[in-house]
Amino acid sequence: MNLSNIPLSLYIHLPWCEKKCPYCDFNISINKSDTDEVNLIKAIIFDIENSRVAINNRKFKSIYFGGGTPSLVKGELIGLIINFLNKNDLIANNAEISFEFNPQEVSKDYLDCIVGHGINRLSIGVQSFDDKTLSSLERNHDRERSLESLEVISLLKGVRTSIDLIYGVMGQTLTSFEGDLRTFSQFDLSHLSLYQLTIEPNTIFYKRELKIPSEERIESMERSAKKILNSNGYFQYEVSSWSPDDQKGIHNMNYWSYGDYLGVGPGAHSKITLDNGVYRSIKMKKVLSYIENPLKNNGKYIPKDEIDLDLAMNFLRIKEGVSLEDLKKNTYLFSDSFFNKLDIAVRKGLIEKDRFKATDRGYKFLNDTVNIFS
Ligand SMILES: C[S@@+](CC[C@H](N)C(=O)[O-])C[C@H]1O[C@@H](n2cnc3c(N)ncnc32)[C@H](O)[C@@H]1O
Ligand code: SF4
């Protein structure tokens, strides 16, 4: 296997937020200063410039500005990063370049600026179009703002658009959630990321007693989502991702189909394939620590005989799985017992026989399915 043929993506973490949402476990900071902003962009460029070994003569097939809230960073600083990548010929033809927004910052001027710099996919954290749900999530925007932000992005030409919605929120009814999906479907957007609210340790919600909807209500929400989204031309291609068949997110698909990615910015993760295994690493989490030492990382080498689980965890998230042919492209990484484990999963009815794809039961009990490969 020629390592330089493995597809490579770039993730750029821009960590600042206006406030910390009570459910959020991302690596964020609410103390943004102009000096830190400039210094972070310089550090990110320095980091990419010094990652030539990991890049290994490849060009990025996708780039993702995630956060935090990237839209809090000045548009011209985003331009500096993209100019650097262009100058060094690091962006593949037709690369997908995504950028995350909070509805609060969606303005025509800002969008014109970053699209002018080359951003071609926008992802907006709408979460809901219902004021009650937004207030349960303690978001800093309301229904009106959610709708306005969609109206602004709908006017853009040649840019792919995605929004995030959350279900399973305290006080959220089936009718309210169906309303969210119908409103989404009225706009001509290319993608939906649909997340069930998870109560993560280390979040404010974890310490509260919350009345989240019952399992039955969650299941009816999932059934409704399938019905409404399918009838509007959106199909689930991954646990939380829905789109028409030709609009799947290239960046996330690269994660799940075991491509490589370079992560830059505080707390960003990387995965780089080496001759005999995979190197996974994470950058310093604090903004100032990263600025001081952008190249420092904590890494873990996963040797060949421990890769099965890692690989199954990623591939099996994709709803349609991968063909056995595509799976076998990675055999240089499998342990000797990979195909025995696959056999067990097939016999238990968790994975299909002629495709590396979870069956309906396997998808429902995804953790059990994946753990067969441990
Ligand atoms: C980095 S944020 C997106 C951009 C932006 N910061 C925002 O919140 O609008 C990524 C998305 O993850 C989802 N998310 C974050 N924490 C979550 C949780 N605990 N449960 C479910 N979804 C969550 C939200 O939908 C959020 O929009
Ligand atoms: S959900 Fe988004 S806006 Fe809220 S704290 Fe997390 S990253 Fe920031």
For the question of whether the overall pTM of this predicted structure is more than 0.75, the answer is yes
Length of the chain: 374
- Measured from the Cα of 19, ligand 2's closest atom is 5
Nearest CA, atom 7, ligand 2: 68
C-alpha distances (whole Å) from 219 to each of 167, 168, 239 are 11, 10, 14
Nearest bound ligand to CA 140? 2
pLDDT for res 105: 86
- The predicted-structure confidence for 139-197, as pLDDT tens digits, reads as follows 999 999 999 999 999 888 889 999 999 999 999 999 999 999 999 999 999 999 999 99
Kind of pairing between the strands at 160-167 and 121-127: parallel
Tell me, in angstroms, the distance from the centre of ligand 1 to residue 24's CA. 7
**CB atoms inside a 10 Å sphere around CB 22:** 17
Tell me, in angstroms, the distance from the centre of ligand 1 to residue 337's CA. 37
Decide if pLDDT at 331 tops 80.
no
Q: Torsion angle, CA of 41/42/43/47, rounded to 10 degrees?
A: 100
Tell me, in angstroms, the distance from the centre of ligand 2 to residue 20's CA. 6
Nearest CA, atom 3, ligand 2: 17
- The predicted-structure confidence for 274-289, as pLDDT tens digits, reads as follows 988 899 999 999 999 9
**Omega of the bond leading into 66 within 30 degrees of 0 (cis):** no
Mean pLDDT within 204-209: 92
Nearest bound ligand to CA 103? 1
Query: Which of 29, 69, 128, 133, when mutated, tests ligand 2's pocket best, judged by the most ligand atoms within 8 Å of its CB?
Result: 69
Take residue 70 and report the two structure tokens written for it.
Answer: 């990237």
Query: Which of 11, 104, 164, 199, when mutated, tests ligand 1's pocket best, judged by the most ligand atoms within 8 Å of its CB?
Result: 164
Q: How far apart are alpha carbons 128 and 195 in whole angstroms?
A: 11
Query: Which of 13, 18, 27, 166, when mutated, tests ligand 1's pocket best, judged by the most ligand atoms within 8 Å of its CB?
Result: 166
Residues flanking ligand 1, CB < 6 Å: 23-24, 26, 66-67, 69, 100, 102, 125, 127, 164, 166, 195, 197-198, 200
Nearest CA, atom 2, ligand 2: 68
Tell me, in angstroms, the distance from the centre of ligand 1 to residue 38's CA. 25
Mean pLDDT within 46-51: 98
Tell me, in angstroms, the distance from the centre of ligand 2 to residue 14's CA. 11
pLDDT for res 334: 77
Decide if pLDDT at 329 tops 80.
no
Among 31, 130, 112, 114, smallest CA distance to 78 is for 114
Decide if pLDDT at 335 tops 90.
no
Nearest CA, atom 6, ligand 2: 24
Question: What superfamily would CATH give domain 3-254?
Answer: tm_1862 like domain (3.80.30.20)
pLDDT for res 170: 97
Among 213, 265, 198, 239, smallest CA distance to 25 is for 198
Residues forming CATH 3.80.30.20 domain(s) in the chain: 3-254
Mean pLDDT within 240-257: 92
* Residue 103 contacts residue 71 (beta carbons within 8 Å): no
Q: How far apart are alpha carbons 312 and 192 in whole angstroms?
A: 24
- The predicted-structure confidence for 74-122, as pLDDT tens digits, reads as follows 999 999 999 999 999 999 999 999 999 999 888 999 999 999 999 999 9
**Per-residue confidence at 294, pLDDT binned at 50, 70, 90?**
very high
Which residues sit opposite 67 in a β-bridge?
Answer: 14
pLDDT for res 203: 93
What average pLDDT does the structure give for the chain? Answer: 93
Nearest CA, atom 9, ligand 1: 125
Decide if pLDDT at 35 tops 80.
yes
pLDDT for res 95: 98
Tell me, in angstroms, the distance from the centre of ligand 2 to residue 311's CA. 29
